[in-house]
Structure 1
Amino acid sequence: MSQEQAVPSRTGRRELNATLTVRRVMDGADVLCLSGILDTEGAAALGHELTAHLRAAGSNRRVILDLTGLRLLSAAGIHVLDTHTRHLSEHPVLVIVSTAHVREIFTVAPAPGLYVCPTLDAALAALPEIAPHRTVGTADGPEDQTDEDQTDEDQADDDLGTRTKARTSAVIGMAQGIVLERYALPGLQAAFDLLRETSRRHDVPLRVLASAVVTAPRPAGRSSGWFPDRPPTPPPSPELLDVPEQGAYDRRQLLRTLVHEVVAVADADGAEVHLTDQALGNSLVLESHSGLDAAYRDRVAQVGAPPAVCARARLLGRPVLVADVTTDPDLVATEVGRAASAAGSRALYAVPALAEDGACVGVITVHHARPGPWLTHVQLNALRNLANDLARWNSWYRRTVVLDALEHLHAQN
């Protein structure tokens, strides 16, 4: 971190339990440190202070908002931060977040005018590497990343909805910050390069690797590795998926095979597969699909709660049938319901993929162009078996392939 100028800190407005202090640093940035509890009244005061400092900074200085001293962030505080920075998507305000519940808020619902960093050092390091056109939710790496640098998964993400791409990019940014700080790397470019190299070497999608970095326990030390004494585990034998053992390591291909098998087994007009992501608050993230248009995919790219049928199945822990999207009381007046109808889907059937402990780790959803139940008992059983296959494979993949990738990343430093 660069040295501070000889300018005394000054205290801003004090409202109830929130205190704002300002520090000027030499890297062309003002650091606004917020501590305490940001409730409704404190949020209003923050809005005035933030507006004043943003105007004063102009185009010559950047504003960094340090929330590491914040114990509670209210909904009013989130709204103030969003509305007062939304116009700054080309030159976002850097936000330092350490508290778990605050970090989750910015991960699940990032604001376009904010760029999240784990430490002040990471924020200062990010200043020269944030391109003018980048925002917190659209950058997978430093500004000099070109289309040629994108992995297959980066390009595949274009098909999985702009909402999830924005939010998972925030997770990638958090992983960059963690790797930068943990291994004392020279900058975010080096952190991104390490993540990308590990992703390619182990064929683990970058966003999946980033999620693991963010959520895995901190390694105890270098000598014993990140996950010592981990026994090798062979991939599970699926009941219906006709894939060789080596195919279980290819995440993209296995999920593509799964969704096409689902369509064939269920005599469906479309299908989607979601998996949970711990770094995104255990939201369901669209991983593979068939026969669904872009507007619908964008609507279900990341699902946290009903009315989406996949979220209903997850919540209930059992299959859910929507006999007619256009008359279902929970869907008919919603955006996801209208998107499904516009995509030509009338009936939906969702099956949760349950782990051994009963937790839902994913959902398979099939679409039919005609309303009403259409699945036979044989087809229903086949879908349940495919969901079981998905749960077993996902558990093995996370405990084996992803952890192997984390071990490799750790061993490089």
Structure 2
Amino acid sequence: ARSRKVSARLVKGVGLLMRQNGVEVIEGRATLCSPRAVEVALNDGGSRTVETRNVIVATGGTARTIPGIEPDGERVLTYRPAILRRELPQSAVIVGAGPIGMEFAHIWRTYGTSVTVVEMLPRVLPLEDAEVSAEVERAFRRRKVRVLTGTRVQRVERTEDGVRVTVTGEQGEQDLEADLTLIAIGVRPQSGGLGLEKLGVRTEHGYVVVDEMMRTSVEGVYAIGDVTGKMPLAHVASAQGILAVEYIAGEEPPPLDYKMMPRGVYCHPQVASFGLTTEEAVERGYEVRVGKFPFRANGKALGLGDYDGFVKIIADEASGEILGAHLVGPEVTELLPELVLARNWELTPDEIARTVHAHPTLGETLMEAAHAVFGKAIHI
């Protein structure tokens, strides 16, 4: 209930901002008639055509599903019905160990649900640094979350009491019984029915193709957010929107560097990262230095009683350039911005290390990890 109140408050706030800034909101289903006109089938009946000089497509994405396994909103769920669900399941099988799957596993397990996570790739959070993935998996196993990596879902059957999920992996074929299953394998674009094809807007696998200024293949038509397939994150969509509007207004904004975009996973322990992993940096030809500092050596983390995890900074040995950072531990999503800012302003680990950090704070781990890049960490 509280999450819905917070969401409603945020939505109301955005609506207020729209009104204060003279932005008209039309509720309905839109179709592009031309690059200069949008027809809207109004929610309250009738239609309206809006003429414009530029169009920004920001229709987002929706949950990706497994072919042959149709969600029903009750026993086979995707993330939206799962968020809105009022009853807590006694048991759940979560298909997909990406951010959505791991966040739901954390939430449900915290409230006492028996959780099994199934991931077809070799590790949880497969797009994160391998050491981060291993730390998260250890923490989840300690919390009695069953984790099955390298495992594929063969079928899902509805039973009298819930669902039966048949999977195959290292242990062969097995049936997993639960109250429900959550399909959490990512998002797909919502680009159908907009009239993009008739206008000649180029798409690939449903994603709208854009350049670095968010322009599509049709002049005057832009796209931002999940529908572009760049990075399915709210803050990325927001940055893309600002970029597109600034460009339309005649400014010359710098393009976004998607590899250096910050991202977070709100499970426990939290995960936050940006940039290259050690393996990626080596593959690109960098001579790398890695600084790593554990939270169990940090006074604030010990005082909080939450000290699993570490801060890891990856730097180029020759230039000192920060190539990436990977954090797992208490409130690391709040710590990451310092390192992103340092990277964007071309600070080196040495400059971070020489910046005095208040004690006792979790932020001291950033200073210590920066010291550790060159073997100078003090408290380990």
- Specify the TM-score bucket, using the shorter chain as the normaliser: under 0.3
Q: TM-score, normalised by structure 1?
A: 0.25
Q: TM-score, normalised by structure 2?
A: 0.27
Of structures 1 and 2, the one with the larger relative CO (CA 8 A, separation 6+) is: 2
